Amino acid sequence: MPPPVSGCLLLLDVPKILFRALLSVHGLHFPLEETVVLIGGINAGAAYNGTENSTTTIYPLSADEEFSFILTEILALANGGGTATSEVLRAASQILPGDFESWYNEFNWLGMRIHDLATQAKSATSKREALFRASSYYRFSSFFLTGDSSDPRLYDTFEKSLEDFHEAISLLPIPGELYSVSGPSYHIPGYFFKANAGNATKLPTIVVGSGYDAAQEDSWHALGKEATDRGYNFVTYEGPGQPTVRRKQKAGFIPEWWDVVTPVVDYLSQRDDVDMNNLALIGLSFGGQLAPRAASREHRFKAVFSIDGLVDMQAAVLDKFPDELTTLFKSSNASFFDKVVSSALDQPDTSTLFKWFTSQGLWAFNTTSYYDWLSQLGKFALTQELVNNISAYGWVGKGEDDDLVGGQEDVLARYYNASGRRDATFQLFPMNLGAGLHCQLGAEPYLAQAAFDWLDGIVSI
């Protein structure tokens, strides 16, 4: 079974759920009979089981597979000072599998306690490190609460997370800066982390965007220090649908992602410390689809990364649905499709992944209809024609264990190779080095080595 995907992240695998309730929904005859099952469950991983080189890479951190995956994501932030391993493992041991309240309580509690540690710190370094961790725990406490957009905890704990993060970056040796630029009908918040304290030198600059659910603050811990240590300025941004913009502006995802990225590039062009000839754009997870979209119209990037490669998340989701549900979706009967998904969600054995993935969809696309959400997702597809418009060098990653998108990494590489411009650089990350998960979760140093060593070569061209 493939691992689930999210966090850095998008999440494509939809869990197995019984659709027996459909048979009785308002007396409608739905051709699914009891046996129909939606989508494979996720094997979040297991300990060594006697099979040499088994395809499972990660130890389960919860009996609930989706909880286990998100816990792995939170644990991975420890590599960049965003969390601490035993703090996460202790919280994991206390969380009731599949219980969203339990998840919220543990992480909110941990956030408060680590925030307390920050207030007791005697040095700026101690304070900064504790604030970064408190920020991460607050941020992840509301991860599973997006099903009710009126839940005040979605906003309160996130606000605390932002406050702690902002104070933490002000305590970095070279303080991180906040910036905000305007798009057509929304504001784009971001961070700028300078690689060098002076302004005189224009440096190559990496711009990172996350995906379906992850916050830009995570990216600093995942890749930020890796980038600045190598002499790259590190810039993040969030567009409509992403955590801060969704919360503060109620704005859902838009397919015109160039309208999000171009204002950021305009802003960078006004700075005196950015080498505009050496800009790179990184997209993480669903961002791996968003970044090439942006680069198809915004041509000031020299390189564009898809970590990992993705061309059509809607197709990947439909591929995981049972045929009957896909047929129903394609019949465009929106009200019935919504009814079917709702009734599936009412089933007691519905998996956390399915609950979270669908509710996150409504939240991130600012809609109340599952049909509308999934339809909108289709408008983000990358096509050959669109990739033909990309002038940047393309880099496409794939985690060996991450087969959720059914080989779409190769499809994206093929689009580049057939574009008549430049071949893609394709990077496979092996599971036997722990790098096989989606977005190389937990193996960020290897990801950074592969991606940034390659970028060094592009910058020198």
Ligand X SMILES: *[C@@H]1O[C@H](CO)[C@@H](O)[C@H](O)[C@H]1NC(C)=O
CA-based angle 222:223:228, to the nearest 5?
Answer: 140
**Minimum CB distance to ligand X smaller for 118 or for 412:** 412
| Residue selected from 386, 391, 400, 434 as contacting ligand X according to rule CB under 6 A | 386
Omega before 308 within 30 of 0, i.e. cis: yes
Stretches 6-14, 48-56, 81-89, 164-172: which one binds ligand X (CB under 6 A)? Answer: 48-56
389 binds ligand X (CB under 6 A): yes
| Three-state DSSP state, 225 | helix
421 binds ligand X (CB under 6 A): no
Distance of alpha carbon 105 from alpha carbon 12, whole angstroms? 27
Residues paired with 37 in a beta bridge: 18
385 binds ligand X (CB under 6 A): yes
Distance of alpha carbon 242 from alpha carbon 391, whole angstroms? 26
**Minimum CB distance to ligand X smaller for 107 or for 415:** 415
Interacting residues of 292 by C-beta distance below 8 A, sequence separation 6+: 283, 304, 306, 382, 386, 387, 390, 394, 412
| Three-state DSSP state, 278 | strand
Stretches 93-101, 383-391, 397-405, 435-443: which one binds ligand X (CB under 6 A)? Answer: 383-391
Token pair 């893609």: residue:
424
| Residue selected from 93, 277, 333, 449 as contacting ligand X according to rule CB under 6 A | 333
Residue pair 197/269 in contact (Cβ under 8 Å)? The answer is no
CB count, 10 Å around CB of 332?
10
| Residue selected from 51, 86, 120, 123 as contacting ligand X according to rule CB under 6 A | 51
DSSP for 227-249, please give it: HHHTT-EEEEE--TTSHHHHHHH
**H/E segment holding residue 132:** helix 124-141
**Minimum CB distance to ligand X smaller for 260 or for 424:** 424
| Residue selected from 366, 376, 427, 440 as contacting ligand X according to rule CB under 6 A | 366
Strands 203-209 and 177-182: unpaired
- Residue 137 has, within 13 A of its CA and on its CB side, a CA count of 28
**Minimum CB distance to ligand X smaller for 28 or for 63:** 28
Which positions from 288 through 327 interact with ligand X, judged by CB under 6 A?
A: 296-297
State which residue has the least CB distance to ligand X.
54
Residue pair 442/58 in contact (Cβ under 8 Å)? The answer is yes
Stretches 46-54, 67-75, 101-109, 282-290: which one binds ligand X (CB under 6 A)? Answer: 46-54
CB of 391 to ligand X, least distance (A): 10
CB of 172 to ligand X, least distance (A): 14
| Residue selected from 113, 250, 330, 379 as contacting ligand X according to rule CB under 6 A | 250
Which positions from 191 through 210 interact with ligand X, judged by CB under 6 A?
A: 199
Which positions from 25 through 44 interact with ligand X, judged by CB under 6 A?
A: 28
**Minimum CB distance to ligand X smaller for 47 or for 120:** 47
Stretches 121-129, 156-164, 168-176, 424-432: which one binds ligand X (CB under 6 A)? Answer: 424-432
Q: Which residues are near ligand X by CB under 6 A?
A: 28, 49-56, 199, 250-251, 271, 296-297, 333, 336, 366, 385-386, 389, 410, 413-414, 417, 423-424, 426, 432
